[in-house]
Amino acid sequence: MRGILEHLHTSESLLTVTDMEAGLEHLKRGTLEHAEVLLIVVEPYFKSLEAAGRIAELARGLGVPALYAVANKVRSERDEVAISDYCAARGLPVLAVVPFDADVAEAERQGVAVLDSAPEAAAVGAVRGIADGLLATNQPEREGRVAD
């Protein structure tokens, strides 16, 4: 897989979004070495936070240039604080907070994209924020504008 990803990424004008294998083991194989930005999706509970911390550590070891947490399924201020505290302690910027959203769960039940079934969903709005944040951090004239 690594060879394929490297090969595909020789095309410059292309923006790629790679959905990695769940979990951690594959990261050790170096499949992440092609990535310029890694988004680590994290839920507000201990095991998810711990997994995110380990993924961040591995990705740093592999030399991924930019790492961000994306807080997902956040139901409360307390959830948000749990994630931001954990990430702050590990020097991991939180790029976005995606709220828990019943529209996402419903889309999964139906086997459709939430962007099609509920384009105005709060979670979709938060993902639009991720896209804006990524494109902003990707500007060459970004002094002082890096999201953190």
Q: Which of 19, 77, 141, 143 binds another protein (CB under 8 A)?
A: 19
Site string for another protein, 66-95 (x = CB under 8 A): ----x-xx----------------------
Distance CA 6, CA 42 (A): 26
Longest dimension (CA), the chain: 44
On the 0-12 / 13-18 / 19+ scale of CB atoms within 10 A, 70 is buried
Q: Which of 46, 52, 79, 80 binds another protein (CB under 8 A)?
A: 52
57 neighbors 27 (Cβ within 8 angstroms)? no
Distance CA 8, CA 117 (A): 31
Q: Least distance from C-beta 34 to another protein, angstroms?
A: 6
Q: What is the DSSP letter of 28?
A: G
Binding status of residue 9 toward another protein by CB under 8 A: yes
If the CB atoms of residues 39 and 82 are measured against another protein, the closer one turns out to be 39
Nearest in space to 35 (alpha carbons), one of 81, 68, 84: 68
Helix (H, G, I), strand (E, B) or coil at 45: coil
Question: Which range touches another protein (CB under 8 A), out of 34-42, 77-85, 86-94, 140-148?
Answer: 34-42
Binding site for another protein (CB under 8 A): 1-5, 7-11, 13-23, 26-27, 29-32, 34-43, 47-48, 51-52, 55, 59, 64, 70, 72-73, 98, 104, 107-108, 111-116, 123-124, 127-128, 130-131, 134-135, 138
